[in-house]
A and B are shown apart, each in its own frame.
Chain A
Amino acid sequence: MSARDRILAKLRATQPQAPVSAPVLDAHYSPRARDESSAERLARFRTGIEGFHAEVHLTSNADWPELLAHLCADKGIGTLLFGADTPAGRRLDPAVFTGTTLRPWIGQVEEIKADLFHRVDAGFTQARGAIAETGTLIVWPSEAEPRTLSLVPPIHFALLDARSIHPTFFDALRTENWAAGLPTNALLISGPSKTADIQQTLAYGAHGPKELIVLVINAEGAQQ
């Protein structure tokens, strides 16, 4: 008998006979659902993620590439790595980025690992959505926007459509039916990486990005 069979046999021999009823998640979440406008939802998201030290900029679908270029210039970004083969990636025009080299991700990570770790100053990805309750980005890396793009460069720029903000994590995975098909890697990101492992003192830029900058589009209705 293998370890697998022995473990399973032990568990089966002592498994409780009486059925335990399945948990009812709606009983917890439904009564706490908020009746809020999209502006209020965006405001909650913003307060949350800013509390985690992220920078948030409200912009429009027309203006965001230019804003990104300005932010890169302000922060002295030499090289911005991005996925070219996405709707957002196709909007990035090198002519607008003065002083910043736009570098599309090409090839397998092994081919660009040294650059990725040592020569790229920032990565740009789209966010799939966000969570208002906690101030959290939902990022699903893809073929076009690999996992390390939002992890290794010191600064992570993320583009978020205000219309894709869910009230809670539960709402996001329920309404989008994540269980029917998750990508290789799905992420929730709430701010730049951090640690409080030294004497409970919070420090940002632990192993991942030191800065997280979120550009929110379609936020016109929500702007103060």
Chain B
Amino acid sequence: MSAHTSSAEKDAGKPIAFVSAQALRERMHDAVNDPHLRSSFRGAMDFLMAKRAAQFPDESELASLRTLSEGIRQYSLARLPDLLEQLETNLTRNGVQVHWAETPDEANAIMLGIARRHEAKLIVKGKSMVSEEIEFNHAMEAAGVGALESDMGEYIVQLAGEKPSHIIMPAIHKTKEQIARLFADKVPGVDYTDNVDALIRIGRDVLREKFEEAEIGLSGVNFAVAETGTLCLVENEGNGRMCTTVPKVHVAITGIEKIVEKLEHVAPLFSILTRSATGQAVSTYFNMISGPRKAYEKDGPEEVHLILLDNGRSQAYADEQLRKTLQCIRCGACMNHCPVYTRVGGHAYGTTYPGPIGKIISPHMMGLEQTHLLPTVSSLCGACGEVCPVKIPIPELLIRLREEANTAPHANPAMVGQGAGYSPLMTFVWKSWARIYARPGIYRTFSWLATRLRVLTPSSQSGWTAARTPLKPAPRRLRDMVKDRR
């Protein structure tokens, strides 16, 4: 990053802790005023948007595929508890051990239990946003178990002591020169080079040793298929295959919502995922895992585990509207197309999942106390909803979360932290607004007064005049002009 160190960067590598509304404002302020960050994200997002657009030349095909994908996700969610049980039954039959965790702590404890049983010193990790969500690396390191990221972007971010700034392209905020400097400083025996092929070769060589050495491989899951007991992983680098094939133990971790009933349901979802995410017709690898090494097989892990994590998902599930949040297949298209994300980058949000999806999912994971400002950081332009491959109505959900945050605190809240954004002043302002605008006679008087008193319009209008000339009522209202005409 530039010489200027933003507040978001300083603690980017630390566990996600309470980010107050004020701190969030500061992070956003710092980020949006960092010209280097602005131009690098702008360029990267333009690139990703163009690549996605090129994948969908046929609008009717896109429309049909979105409708189908939405339908599959909604069908899966409607049957979620049944499918989870079916998945568990079939995975168990296939020899996979299934674990359930309500909280990040429980998930980490399960992982540590497995690590201890195998006396593991090193866990090599494929890309997993759920592992970020549970602060996996910190939990393992605190217990003396090494956790090494092997996705190139994640490896870079871990080496820098940071967090991913994008769910698909974790190191998108870094230039190759910064990565070259990082490698030269942190990787023993490496000289400075900003040749991308050379940098990738360095990462490859370092990590190949680790794949050989690690006792456990960790991965995420893109789709879990209930009818066959299969875990599907999407990737380009081959590190996902390494993590799930070479170490003696493979542990997969996923949110409870990433499930489909039938194997054929993954075909359209896989297609729309890669095309929406990185604008690829298909990823290099689609890896379907249905169990550990069988007695007659020559390689593959001897044990496979699946950890199913709730962490607030069941709260979203409980409400018909909020449940749509769980349709997400984590493509990141919403952030690529978001004018806010483009300007502040992923670190400013202070959440595991940044961008539009982060604004609607984080409140369930972290509670509204910490996140109530997030849903307001949107102009509701709708670009996210327009590109969402499973048609999550993100703007609608943002409005809903604003409502939940504004609600006066009461018993039986639908969400943890409901009412956390409650402000007696704003409530008064909006009630007063309604008193005027719901009474046409009063509104007429009010608007007439505003035009009469326009010379008194303040020249400073809080946020508005920071960048704009003041808004001033017109000398005559439209209704006055209409009356004159008649």
Contacts and interface: CB of A to CB of B under 8 A. Distances in A.
Question: Touching in the complex, A and B, CB below 8 A?
Answer: yes
Interface of A: 2-4, 6-8, 10-16, 19-23, 25, 27-28, 32, 48, 52, 105, 107-109, 113, 117, 133-136, 142-143, 146-148, 151-152, 168-170, 173-174, 178-179, 182-201, 203, 205-209
5 contacts: A27-B68, A143-B297, A146-B299, A147-B241, A194-B236
A174 B264 CA distance: 7
B141 interface: no
Contacts of B100: 2-4, 7
Contact of A187 (B172, B203, B285): B285
Given A22-B75, A170-B267, A193-B236, A148 B204 contact: no
A134 B300 contact: no
A120 to B, nearest CB: 13
B65 A209 contact: no
Nearest to A178: B263
B268 interface: yes
A184 B264 contact: no
Interface string B257-296: 0000111110110110000001001111111111111101
A158 B236 CA distance: 18
A210 to B, nearest CB: 9
Contacts of A27: 64, 68
Contact of A25 (B48, B239, B264): B264
A23 B286 contact: no
Interface residues of B, number: 94
Interface stretch (B313-321, B363-371, B419-427): B313-321
A4 B264 CA distance: 27
Given A8-B81, A185-B245, A203 B317 contact: no
B61 interface: yes
B102 A3 contact: yes
Nearest to A109: B299
Interface string B109-132: 000000000000000000000000
Contacts of A206: 152, 200, 203-204, 236-239
A71 B261 CA distance: 44
Given A169-B267, A178-B263, A14 B318 contact: yes
A191 B71 CA distance: 31
Given A14-B318, A28-B65, A179 B80 contact: no
Contacts of B153: 195, 197
B176 to A, nearest CB: 5
Given A8-B85, A32-B61, A201 B314 contact: no
B281 A201 contact: no
B81 A207 contact: no
Contacts of B179: 198-199
